């Protein structure tokens, strides 16, 4: 397989990825909730604070003084957060759930990684 063959495969995969994103976005209206049939809502965590541990929410700017970076080539490692980062990620996801127009500004339709695809986030709004 030559370098040109690999480039053709990447181009085809990129087009398939873009088509999937367009199809996904067209099936959900701007204010509609996407339901993933594979994700069982019964798996939600009702007793997450069973030990009565209280967490204080802090904005990222309070503890992270560096400038934030935007990646146009997402990789799975970008979604790994850790204990402190999980709360920041959930705060962002809650905001996006309430304001779907922001999602289009943050993740452009034409932006996806050929190698890793797009990120799929499952959420339940109760």
Residue with more model confidence, 14 or 91: 14
Q: Residue 112: inside a domain, yes or no?
A: no
Residue span of the structural domain in which 73 resides: 3-106
Across all residues in the chain, what is the average pLDDT? 63
pLDDT band of residue 44 (cuts 50, 70, 90) is very low
Query: pTM for this structure?
Result: 0.24
Q: Phi, psi (5° rounding) for residue 86?
A: -60, -40
What one-character DSSP code corresponds to residue 113?
Answer: B
In this predicted structure, the answer to whether residue 118 has a pLDDT above a threshold of 50 is yes
Q: Give the total number of structural domains in the chain.
A: 1
DSSP-derived 3-state class of residue 117: strand
Q: Residue 63: inside a domain, yes or no?
A: yes
- What Å distances lie between residue 40 and 50, 79, 103, 116, CA to CA? 22, 22, 24, 25
In this predicted structure, the answer to whether residue 85 has a pLDDT above a threshold of 60 is no
Enter the tokens of residue 37.
Answer: 């049939």
> Cα 38 vs. chain centroid, distance in angstroms?
17
Residue with more model confidence, 37 or 1: 37
Q: Residue 100: inside a domain, yes or no?
A: yes
Q: Residue 94: inside a domain, yes or no?
A: yes
Q: How far, in Å, CA of 109 to CA of 103, rounded?
A: 10
Q: Residue 113: inside a domain, yes or no?
A: no
Quick: pLDDT tens for 17-36: 777 777 766 766 666 666 65
Residue with more model confidence, 93 or 69: 93
Q: Residue 54: inside a domain, yes or no?
A: yes
- Res 43: pLDDT: 44
Q: Residue 75: inside a domain, yes or no?
A: yes
Cβ neighbors of 89 (< 8 A, separation 6 or more) are 79, 81
What is the mean predicted confidence (pLDDT) over 59-76? 62
Could you list the beta-strand ranges (E) of the chain: none
Q: Residue 67: inside a domain, yes or no?
A: yes
Locus of tokens 């495969």: 9
């Amino acid at each position: 397989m030559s370098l040109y063959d690999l480039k053709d495969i990447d181009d085809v995969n990129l087009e398939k990825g873009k088509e999937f994103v367009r199809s996904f976005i067209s099936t959900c209206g701007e204010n509609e909730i996407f339901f993933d049939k594979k994700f069982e809502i019964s798996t939600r965590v009702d007793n997450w604070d069973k030990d009565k541990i209280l967490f204080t929410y802090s904005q990222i700017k309070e503890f992270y003084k560096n400038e934030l970076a935007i990646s146009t080539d997402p990789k799975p490692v970008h979604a790994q957060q850790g204990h402190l980062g999980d709360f920041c990620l959930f705060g962002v996801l809650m905001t996006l759930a309430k304001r779907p127009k922001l999602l289009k500004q943050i993740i452009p339709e034409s932006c996806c990684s050929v190698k890793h695809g797009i990120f799929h986030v499952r959420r339940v709004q109760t």
